[in-house]
Amino acid sequence: MDFDKLSRRRVLGALGASGTIALAGCSGGDGDDGSDGEDGSDGSDGSDGEDGSDGSDGSDGGDSTNQDLSGTLRIGVLQDFSGQLAVYGAQGSAGFYSGLAHKAGNDPLPADAIDEGDYSYAVNDIDIEIRARDTQFAPTQAQTLASELVTQDDVDMLYGVGNSGGAISVINGVVDQAEVPFIAGPAASAEITAGEGTCRDLVFRANENTAMDARSGGVYIADQTDVDQIALFGADDAFGQSVVNNYRTVLENRGVTIADERAVPEDLDQPEWVGLLDEAESAGAEGIVGGFTAAGLSGFFSAFLDGDYDFQLFGGFASRLTLGVVGNALQSTLDDFSNEALQAADFGPFTTRYHWNQYDNPINDQFVESHAGTYGVVPDLFTSGAFTAASAVVQAMNEQGEVSADAIVEGMSGMTVTDTPKGENGYTFQEYNNQARSEMTVAPVTVTPDSQENWPAAIMPGDPIERVSADEVTIPASEMSCDLS
């Protein structure tokens, strides 16, 4: 899908379901998936066929052990390829294909593989058969397709699902019965790997989650700013509650006072927002966090920019789709659309799970070059987690010396993933819940320069100003109802 060909109605419709000022999207089922993506499936494919067997990119991502391992692995890929949020499916699949490509030292599957269909790829002597299916961002469709992949296509494992409702349906309706491993992503509800209702030995997630967004933001506010009192505003749903709860936990533990906290209906208009922001300022708030999908973003965002408030806006970066719309709004609101004006408007800094320009290492350098060359866009918010999921699958089989579902489960439990876009050993799966932890970054909001290729949004993350360690951004075992250890 070509970002430039998206109609304004489709972009706004997608954002209505997924964007957020906090700033990653959410929708589907429990409303707490945090998945906001962009497809990036246009541009030259850089490959000579679906199996990626020609046109080597020169990467050296193979594992050092069991290079002669051979066999066939069949993976069921569940992503949204045609629905309102097909941008999620494209990012989840392109990142996964890029992770396989890095391990193979080859080009990823081409752009036309960002769609439902059957594809083949070779990682050394391991033949990977991919069965990609279109979930249409519907939980019931995700569960139905997952069941068909297990019973009819005999897949060894499942990967994907862009919304949390769908991921939960797959876990409860398919994983438990078929006993097949499932790597969730981009769906990002913290509860998928933190709650006893869905936490399983067979369920893993490499992608960052909503709690990691909020906790990294809370650490930055408490430790690196002068903000002593803050207002926490979240949508009156599971997503907003997750954002507020995780920010509150970190901030209060670090001595920041919650001056005002509210669950706000998504349909609140700008005049009503003015009143709420006035009350937050009167309560002494020096900063504000807004955990909203785009359905509640318009009034909040407009009221904040139009008002003369003394507090600073904090949150998390979204993908280029949401940042494109937010950037356009900033351009129309600010008299001077510049980095200086953004800073003066107290817009940011924000946290980021991953963006292409936040990490400087050989793996990420190769990833950015290969991804842009194949899909016409730089890697975005969810592609690092998707890359890492694929990288972990291959690493697990090599380390276990076997091409099988059992080898994947055994190998990924507690694994530190060697090859990741955040650097060597950048992700570690926690033994107590199979959620991968990784560091987060904090960056200012900057105007996208004309020289920046393959990033079609008016704003983007600037150079990192803070790293928040993996230990500080994940929910401790003592604070969740899941313990697999």
Say what the pLDDT of residue 383 is: 95
- pLDDT exceeds 90 at position 305: no
Structural domain 32-209+358-440, CATH architecture: 3-Layer(aba) Sandwich (3.40)
pLDDT tens digits, 249-295 = 999 999 999 999 999 987 887 788 899 999 999 999 999 998 876 55
User: pLDDT digit string (tens) for 217-226?
Assistant: 999 999 999 9
Residue 5 has pLDDT above 80, yes or no: no
Cis ω for the linkage preceding 349 (within 30 of 0): yes
- Dihedral of the alpha carbons of 363, 365, 366, 372, in degrees to the nearest 10: 140
pLDDT of 93 > 70? The answer is yes
Nearest 5°: phi and psi at 126?
-95, 120
- Domain ranges in the chain are 32-209+358-440
Q: What is the pLDDT of residue 52?
A: 36
pTM higher than 0.95: no
Q: Are strands 157-160 and 229-235 parallel, antiparallel or unpaired?
A: unpaired
* Average predicted confidence (pLDDT) for the chain: 85
Backbone angles phi, psi at 322, to 5 degrees: -65, -40
> Where does 163-257 have alpha helices with state H?
164-170, 176-178, 191-194, 210-224, 238-253
> Each residue of 337-361: pLDDT tens digit?
999 999 888 888 999 999 999 999 9
Per-residue pLDDT, averaged over 60-83, amounts to 80
State the helix-helix crossing angle for 270-282 and 297-306, rounded to 10 degrees: 60
User: What pLDDT was estimated at residue 228?
Assistant: 96
Task: Using the predicted structure, report yes or no on whether residue 204 has a pLDDT greater than 80.
Answer: yes
Banded model confidence at residue 10, pLDDT cuts 50, 70, 90: very low
Phi and psi for 294 in degrees, rounded to 5?
-65, -20
Distances (CA, A) of 206 to 11, 129, 272: 27, 21, 39
Can you give the pLDDT at residue 69?
94
Tens digits of residue pLDDT in 145-186: 999 999 999 999 999 999 889 999 999 999 999 999 999 999
pLDDT of residue 85: 74
pLDDT for 63 = 57
Report the pLDDT averaged over residues 17-32: 41
What is the three-class DSSP state of 473? helix
> What is the per-residue pLDDT for 75?
98
- What type of residue is 285? A
| Residue from 122, 134, 131, 129 nearest 90 by CA | 134
Looking at residues 8-31, what average pLDDT do you find?
Answer: 39
The two tokens of residue 458 are: 């008016």
28, pLDDT greater than 50: no
Closest to 366 (Cα-Cα) out of 21, 1, 104, 54: 104
